[in-house]
Amino acid sequence: MRLIFRTALWYFLLATFVFGIGSSIIFVLIKNAVKTETDWELRGDLSGIRNALSNGVAPDQIQTSRIKIIALDTVQRCKVDSTFSDTLIF
């Protein structure tokens, strides 16, 4: 009886450990996939902003779905209203 209890306890602890590690790995993979997708979208927005600035578009006229420029100072530091960053340097 004691051996059965010990064996059952070890299997329970092993299953809990394996499930815990497995679920955290899945969570990290999902989190990284979402972050990568957002990074690529943000890079696309930044590329469009750079192109617009180089084509002479006024900074206050540039806005994407995620970024809006609110100021552009003399050293080309672009301050944006964004959930990703406070300051972007071009």
Phi, psi (deg, nearest 5) at residue 78: -95, 115
What's residue 55's pLDDT?
A: 82
Q: Which domain holds residue 47?
A: 2-89
pLDDT tens string, the chain, 90 residues long: the values are 667 777 776 777 666 665 655 555 555 555 555 555 556 666 677 777 778 777 887 766 777 666 666 555 544 455 555 454 444 444
User: Is 71 in contact with 79 (CB distance < 8 Å)?
Assistant: yes
Domain count, the chain: 1
What's residue 53's pLDDT?
A: 74
* CA pair distance 61, 50, nearest whole angstrom: 13
User: Is 54 in contact with 43 (CB distance < 8 Å)?
Assistant: no
- Tokens for 71, please give them: 């100021």
